[in-house]
């Protein structure tokens, strides 16, 4: 059969379907898929001017002080500046070798965790979402488990990974990696979930039993109350700057 007589080439989809009685007028065109860069920029835009969990530790220095420490005031000032400018958020375009390693292996870490525990982790990778508590506080879990748990994934260098084996509870996480402690306590506060899994993964270890480590982190209500106070102080400091600038 030559090309001129081919029924495939003679077929006009829309007109022929209409002739046999199908109405295509109600069909909607599919939304185009977003690129990874578009997803990143949308996520960054949502964070502008907001206090987010990965930086909560900047509010939590000098815990005996009743007012904001200098570092916390600097952080709150940065949030005000983000709302006053159109520049990209600081440090969002720089990706170090270690950071890229983490990005490249995060989903592998989740897969290994799921295989070891039998738990299913959703909303991972590009499907992560910024979860807000009010208008100014938010955080992005690395993955969610059912309705009561979630995960924080780290794929550090091999020396740091081995150090994380010393983390046995929220208390030891606070000592060994306080920045991640306040991040997880903040995420527990934002999401209202019962517990969080801190997961470290390094596939470079020859012993497969050393490649994955995880520990369940429970909320510390006293520290969450303190964090909530500092967040409120940070918001008020940011808003005071905006009030006298706008």
- Per-residue pLDDT reduced to its tens digit, 17-65: 445 454 545 545 555 655 555 555 565 677 899 999 999 999 999 999 9
Q: What is the predicted pLDDT for the residue at 188?
A: 98
Give 173-182's long-range contacts (Cβ < 8 A, gap of 24+): 173/198, 173/215, 173/217, 174/223, 178/57, 178/60, 179/57, 180/152, 180/154, 181/57, 181/217, 182/53, 182/56, 182/57, 182/59, 182/60, 182/223, 182/227
148-171 tens-digit pLDDT: 999 999 999 999 999 999 999 999
216, part of any domain: yes
5, part of any domain: no
Q: What share of the chain in percent tops pLDDT 90? A: 72
Range(s) of the domain holding residue 209: 37-56+67-245
22, part of any domain: no
Least Cα distance to 126 among 39, 41, 45, 44 occurs for 39
200, part of any domain: yes
Banded pLDDT at 93 (limits 50, 70, 90): low
4, part of any domain: no
CATH number for the domain including 86?
3.90.320.10
Q: What share of the chain in percent tops pLDDT 70? A: 79
7, part of any domain: no
Q: What is the predicted pLDDT for the residue at 38?
A: 53
19, part of any domain: no
Banded pLDDT at 130 (limits 50, 70, 90): very high
Indicate yes or no: pTM above 0.75. Answer: yes
203, part of any domain: yes
Give 119-124's long-range contacts (Cβ < 8 A, gap of 24+): 119/145, 119/149, 120/145, 120/146, 121/145, 121/151
Domain count, the chain: 1
């Amino acid at each position: 059969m030559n090309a001129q007589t081919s029924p495939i080439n003679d077929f006009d989809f829309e007109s022929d379907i209409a002739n046999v009685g199908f109405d295509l007028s109600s069909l909607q065109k599919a939304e185009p898929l977003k690129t990874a860069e578009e997803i990143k920029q949308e996520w960054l835009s949502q964070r502008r001017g907001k206090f987010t969990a990965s930086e909560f530790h900047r509010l939590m220095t000098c815990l005996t002080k009743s007012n904001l420490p200098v570092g916390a005031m600097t952080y709150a000032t940065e949030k005000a500046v983000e709302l006053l400018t159109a520049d990209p958020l600081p440090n969002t375009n720089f990706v170090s070798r270690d950071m890229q390693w983490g990005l490249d292996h995060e989903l592998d870490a989740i897969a290994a965790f799921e295989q070891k525990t039998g738990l299913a982790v959703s909303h991972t990778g590009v499907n992560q979402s910024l979860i807000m508590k009010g208008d100014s506080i938010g955080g992005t879990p690395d993955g969610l488990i059912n309705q009561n748990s979630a995960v924080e994934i780290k794929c550090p260098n091999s020396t740091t990974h081995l150090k994380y084996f010393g983390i046995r509870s929220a208390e030891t996480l606070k000592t060994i990696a306080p920045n991640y402690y306040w991040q997880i306590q903040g995420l527990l506060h934002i999401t209202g979930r019962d517990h969080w899994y801190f997961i470290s993964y390094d596939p470079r270890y020859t012993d497969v039993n050393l490649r994955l480590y995880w520990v369940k982190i429970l909320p510390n209500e006293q520290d969450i109350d303190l964090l909530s106070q500092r967040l409120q102080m940070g918001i008020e400091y940011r808003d005071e700057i905006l009030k006298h600038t706008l």
